[in-house]
Amino acid sequence: MREALFIKQNSERWKQYELNKSKEPDHLADSFISITDDLAYAKTFYPNSKTTQYLNGLASGFHQSIYRNKKEKTNRFVTYWKTELPLLFYKHRRQLLYSFGFFIVFCLIGMLSAMYDDTFVRLILGNSYVNMTNDNIAKGDPFGVYKFGSSGVMFAAIAANNIYVELRMFALGILFSVGTIYNLMLNGVMLGSFQYYFFSKGVGLQSVLVIWIHGTLEISALVISGASGLVMGNSLLFPKTYNRLVSLKRGALDGMKIAIGIIPIFLTAAFLEGYVTRHTEMPAIASIAILATSLAFIIWYVILYPALLNRKLNLLQPHIDETSF
């Protein structure tokens, strides 16, 4: 059968499925079987067509609806962080890559700007911070700023600020991703100039061993929050087979799940900054161990584990590939 005829014969039924998803288990099951039959046919005869992509997305939507109405034996929170969030990382891996790419470019811009303009660091970090740090360097304690105040108060203040920055970065994705990219620029330029400043003062390696105790998780989560904003913004820019409103709802939901899911990472980073980073005299091996553990966790949980989980689910559900739409 020609693809055009296949679409003509079934498009009205597909639209009804998309617009009127019943919550009745029997009806959901019947619709799901019908759609997967159509999907199997489309994959056989039109494997690379937009029709196949559309049916794949529709079938996945029904699968998710059935899954949500199914009584779960395991704790919902465990399922969310063990399965749902990693699959979202895999589904939106391109947005994660774009966010990382933007952030690295802006970091390089900040570093080069600080390198060729002596006043740039003061413009970005502020005169008070630079003067205070210069004084601390002269005293032989370049990271003394982390030793001031109560650890608990510092933890609470840093956690609240970082979560605010993260949720703002997500929310500004509604501006067709431009707002999110702008915030990535602000943070990337700041980090680049900040890190160059310490290297220019001869304490660059020491800054890595101290600041990145908490910075590894904090910056990684910042990049992921940028991806959450791009997920929502790109759903407006590139709705694919959905109308723009439906696409926005899907993108906003996925982006919000990612933004909420990484809050524990921000909390852990704030804890490290409040309680651990202040111990600037700790052995280098201890700092390296924390850095390596944090980086290994991010690589595993955001990149490797989602890919393995997706592959496992594809073997169990050969007709449904949630990451292809």
pLDDT of residue 68: 57
* DSSP assigned state of 71: P
Q: Which residue matches tokens 């067509």? A: 49
In a domain, 324, yes or no: no
Which residues of the chain are modeled with pLDDT < 70?
19-30, 62-74, 315-325
Q: What is the C-alpha to C-alpha distance for residues 164 and 166, in angstroms, rounded to an integer?
A: 5
Looking at the domain assignment, is residue 155 inside a domain? yes
Q: Which of 78, 110, 132 is the last residue of a domain?
A: 78
Do residues 161 and 301 both lie within one domain? yes
- Alpha-carbon distance 116 to 31, whole Å? 63
193 and 227 part of one domain: yes
pLDDT value at position 191?
97
202 and 112 in a common domain? yes
Are 256 and 264 in contact, with CB atoms under 8 Å apart?
no
DSSP state of 47: T
**138 and 169 in a common domain:** yes
Chosen domain end from 49, 78, 107 = 78
Task: Tell whether 41 is covered by a domain.
Answer: yes
Cα separation, 143 vs 279, whole angstroms: 10
**Do residues 124 and 212 both lie within one domain?**
yes
Judgement on whether residues 46 and 150 belong to the same structural domain of the protein: no
Domain boundary among the residues 22, 51, 78 is at 78
Percent pLDDT > 70 in the chain is 89
User: The tokens of 150 are what?
Assistant: 């109560």
Q: Are residues 64 and 107 in the same domain?
A: no
Given this model, what pLDDT does residue 314 score? 74
Query: Residues 145, 294: one domain?
Result: yes
Q: What is the pLDDT of residue 76?
A: 73
User: Which class for 80: exposed (0-12), middle (13-18), buried (19 or more C-beta within 10 A)?
Assistant: middle
Let me know whether 170 and 26 are in one domain: no
Q: Based on the fold, state whether residues 127 and 263 are members of the same structural domain.
A: yes
pTM to 2 decimals? 0.76
State which residues form the domain around 19. Answer: 3-78
The SS3 assignment for 258 reads helix
User: Could you give the angle at which helices 178-200 and 93-116 cross, rounded to 10 degrees?
Assistant: 40
Number of domains in the chain: 2
Looking at the fold, whether 165 and 275 belong to one and the same domain comes out as yes
CA angle 232, 238, 241 (to 5 degrees): 110
Q: Contact, 166 vs 259, CB < 8 A?
A: yes
